[in-house]
Chain A
């Protein structure tokens, strides 16, 4: 039972990161019905910029928290700039084109960003300097580190801040109005272009923070880290209901927990040798502690996709319902 709790802790941390990235996807999709394929790359750029800054400051003697925060503070404007350029140059001209066009553009932008990052930071896996003293806390047989706690708390704080922004400020109302119906919002005096640009900027800031979290938590960064993370985070957004901000948070956390529990248990569940009747048929294969595992942890990545496909096929609007306006 203690590893179950541990797996849940692992899953929650993973899920919190997915949630923050999913928020970026869901906000952009909600407002302009575009899957921003390049969002994962923005997370990666955030991690890389933070890495460079942290590397510079690692030996300066500043307390680790300050170093990390400085890294984040430098990553956020860079990511915002990248996102703004993306929106302005690649997506805005295609606002009225049929859906295929911006989707393909987004893929193109993602490839460009990935390879530009590779030129700047090289292909190698880069290590984050080990400046944070990892302190481990035991409870109920499970282990949680201070970094994990920091991530969970920051994610909760960020989600609360975003919820406040979207539901309690004028900007948030403008965003929701533009998402619902851009034309009418325009008639009400809302500058759709500015609102959309702001949405991208907020998403980028969240992406930068997520990048810093991922970098410090795992200690590695590579130019390819954005793509698979992006795909999973998008799956999480769809799981919760695209365009729906609480949905993205729920979807992210749920997906993280499913992945962790899946990787942890599906191997044992599908180990045919552990079922007495079947292991009898398999005879020699199971003798002497052998294993006949059908689906092991090698299928981890499949879970995210499988969840996504199942949700889209059986409940296309996601768990909490989608919130997308009509595209003109």
Chain B
């Protein structure tokens, strides 16, 4: 009686293996640039890039990938020599679906494919588990968009970040709010996700340290559409400002309902709700809201990057593309300076590197974070977010001052 069942399980196992084997071969071939005439010895270098290419933030994932791809294509065209050999770079672009389980699988896949370095991932929730796998294999990894401080607090020497952290972004928007609007009572709300709560915690900490009264934390979920109960409760405490750590999908209804209820306060948000979509969702209610973004606005990136991106992809970069562009270039530059594409050899160079990228001068501190990362403060004007200030190394300057300082970048 047992034979047929064993037979079936054998068949299943065998076919799974066979299909897996076939599946691997059918993987899409990454873009190959022009063939090199083998007169000079060449070296093939694979660089991985991971971001969610499917799902709710697929547009941001694609944006990230475009930045990395631009860097790789430019590097190939520049015919860089590494250790005496002509380098040919290949981008292995993967999709982690913003899911930690998939992220670890994909990270393992890249490690198996023997990549020399990784540009990615996008979300902190996926970058952190994946970083453990890269650390295991000794593969250097630079992220252009994961902002959770935990990433670089793990003590992994192969993990770098070119964008600001939430514990820089939170204090930045909180201090700006405190200095500009001078609130006496602030309500802090978050959406109970890792990102939203982390950011809200930082904001609350900074506000308390400034002596401002912070109300008890209110929470929603990442799908909450009815904020009236929470907002009514807050309204009873008469706050001067409301900060929300969460995404625009939930932030839009929040500000709309807040204004409807007559809760007239200054509304401030983090980068998740720092999009034009807020105006779409809340209409007139979103006017005048404050929000922050980690890093510089895409419009402030170096002109040559913006032009090259537009020329290649026929669209403007959305958010983090300048950072993934810089991350890929950092990997390549470190390899070039160290004369080798082997992680063990170029990792020390990466730690000490000083590089002028599309987002300004980049240097890493001991943890792998970017030194003097910028945070930009925006305000909603006529349905579009417009940068009004930049916070760098604890100093706040207006946006125009910042632009003047950036003039002359690559």
The 8 Å CB contact of B252, one of A220, A297, A301, is A220
Contact A136-B262, Cβ < 8 Å, known A219-B282, A222-B249, A293-B217: yes
Q: Are B229 and A259 in contact (CB under 8 A)?
A: yes
Contact A300-B260, Cβ < 8 Å, known A3-B235, A125-B249, A127-B277: no
Q: Are A219 and B221 in contact (CB under 8 A)?
A: no
Q: Are A218 and B229 in contact (CB under 8 A)?
A: no
Contact A263-B229, Cβ < 8 Å, known A127-B277, A296-B217: yes
The 8 Å CB contact of B253, one of A3, A219, A262, A296, is A219
The 8 Å CB contact of B283, one of A123, A130, A222, A271, is A130
Contact A219-B252, Cβ < 8 Å, known A293-B216, A296-B217: yes
CB contacts (< 8 Å) of B219 on chain A: these are 296-298
Asked if B230 lies at the interface with its beta carbon under 8 angstroms from chain A, I say yes
Q: Are B233 and A3 in contact (CB under 8 A)?
A: yes
CB-CB nearest in chain B for A291: B216
Q: How far apart sit A296 and B216, CA to CA, in the bound complex (Å)?
A: 9
User: How many residues does chain B have at the interface if contact means C-beta atoms less than 8 Å apart?
Assistant: 37
CB-CB nearest in chain B for A5: B232
Q: How far apart sit A220 and B254, CA to CA, in the bound complex (Å)?
A: 11
CB contacts (< 8 Å) of A225 on chain B: these are 223, 225
Contact A124-B213, Cβ < 8 Å, known A143-B261, A263-B233: no
Asked if B307 lies at the interface with its beta carbon under 8 angstroms from chain A, I say no
Contact A264-B233, Cβ < 8 Å, known A6-B261, A136-B262, A301-B221: yes
Q: Are A297 and B230 in contact (CB under 8 A)?
A: yes
Asked if A193 lies at the interface with its beta carbon under 8 angstroms from chain B, I say no
The 8 Å CB contact of B281, one of A127, A145, A297, is A127
Query: B243-259, CB under 8 A of A: which get 1 and which 0?
Result: 00000110011001000
Interface of A is mostly: helix
Query: A1-14, CB under 8 A of B: which get 1 and which 0?
Result: 01100110011011
Asked if A70 lies at the interface with its beta carbon under 8 angstroms from chain B, I say no
Q: How far apart sit A125 and B247, CA to CA, in the bound complex (Å)?
A: 11
User: How many residues does chain A have at the interface if contact means C-beta atoms less than 8 Å apart?
Assistant: 45
CB-CB nearest in chain B for A11: B229
Nearest-neighbour CB distance to chain B for A20, whole angstroms, equals 15
Q: Are B229 and A7 in contact (CB under 8 A)?
A: yes
CB contacts (< 8 Å) of A98 on chain B: these are none
Q: Are B236 and A3 in contact (CB under 8 A)?
A: yes
Nearest-neighbour CB distance to chain A for B290, whole angstroms, equals 21
Asked if A154 lies at the interface with its beta carbon under 8 angstroms from chain B, I say no
Nearest-neighbour CB distance to chain B for A206, whole angstroms, equals 20
Q: How far apart sit A218 and B253, CA to CA, in the bound complex (Å)?
A: 6
CB contacts (< 8 Å) of A136 on chain B: these are 260, 262
Q: Are B229 and A264 in contact (CB under 8 A)?
A: yes
Q: Are B218 and A123 in contact (CB under 8 A)?
A: no
CB contacts (< 8 Å) of A291 on chain B: these are 216-217
Asked if B280 lies at the interface with its beta carbon under 8 angstroms from chain A, I say yes
Asked if B220 lies at the interface with its beta carbon under 8 angstroms from chain A, I say yes
The 8 Å CB contact of A224, one of B192, B218, B223, is B223
CB contacts (< 8 Å) of A283 on chain B: these are none
Q: Are A127 and B217 in contact (CB under 8 A)?
A: no
Q: How far apart sit A72 and B221, CA to CA, in the bound complex (Å)?
A: 28
Contact A3-B282, Cβ < 8 Å, known A125-B249, A291-B217: no
Q: Are A297 and B253 in contact (CB under 8 A)?
A: no
Asked if A134 lies at the interface with its beta carbon under 8 angstroms from chain B, I say yes
Asked if B226 lies at the interface with its beta carbon under 8 angstroms from chain A, I say yes
Q: Are B252 and A14 in contact (CB under 8 A)?
A: no
CB contacts (< 8 Å) of B55 on chain A: these are 123
CB-CB nearest in chain A for B225: A218
Nearest-neighbour CB distance to chain A for B196, whole angstroms, equals 11
Q: Are B281 and A263 in contact (CB under 8 A)?
A: no
Asked if B38 lies at the interface with its beta carbon under 8 angstroms from chain A, I say no
The 8 Å CB contact of A300, one of B229, B256, B282, is B229
Asked if B228 lies at the interface with its beta carbon under 8 angstroms from chain A, I say yes
Contact A260-B218, Cβ < 8 Å, known A123-B56, A289-B213: no
Nearest-neighbour CB distance to chain A for B223, whole angstroms, equals 6
CB-CB nearest in chain A for B56: A123
Q: Are B253 and A267 in contact (CB under 8 A)?
A: no
Nearest-neighbour CB distance to chain B for A301, whole angstroms, equals 7
Asked if A228 lies at the interface with its beta carbon under 8 angstroms from chain B, I say yes
The 8 Å CB contact of B229, one of A10, A134, A138, is A10
Q: Which of A193-249 contact B (CB under 8 A)?
A: 214, 218-220, 222, 224-225, 228
CB contacts (< 8 Å) of B218 on chain A: these are 267, 296-297
Please indicate which of the listed interface residues B226, B235, B284 has the most CB atoms of chain A within 10 Å of its own CB.
Answer: B226
Q: Are A264 and B232 in contact (CB under 8 A)?
A: yes
Q: How far apart sit A301 and B220, CA to CA, in the bound complex (Å)?
A: 9
23 pairs, A vs B, C-beta closer than 8 Å: A3-B233, A3-B236, A7-B233, A10-B228, A10-B229, A14-B228, A130-B284, A136-B262, A145-B260, A214-B225, A218-B225, A219-B253, A219-B256, A222-B223, A224-B223, A225-B225, A260-B228, A261-B229, A267-B233, A268-B216, A296-B217, A297-B233, A298-B192
Which residues in A have some Cβ–Cβ distance to B below 8 Å? 2-3, 6-7, 10-11, 13-14, 123-125, 127, 130, 134, 136, 138, 143, 145, 214, 218-220, 222, 224-225, 228, 259-265, 267-268, 271, 288-289, 291, 293, 296-298, 300-301
Beyond A124-B249, A218-B226, A220-B252, 15 additional pairs, beta carbon < 8 A? A3-B235, A11-B229, A130-B283, A220-B249, A220-B281, A260-B228, A261-B229, A264-B229, A264-B232, A267-B233, A289-B214, A291-B216, A296-B216, A297-B219, A297-B220
Which residues in B have some Cβ–Cβ distance to A below 8 Å? 55-56, 58, 192, 208, 213-214, 216-221, 223, 225-226, 228-230, 232-233, 235-236, 248-249, 252-253, 256, 260-262, 277, 280-284
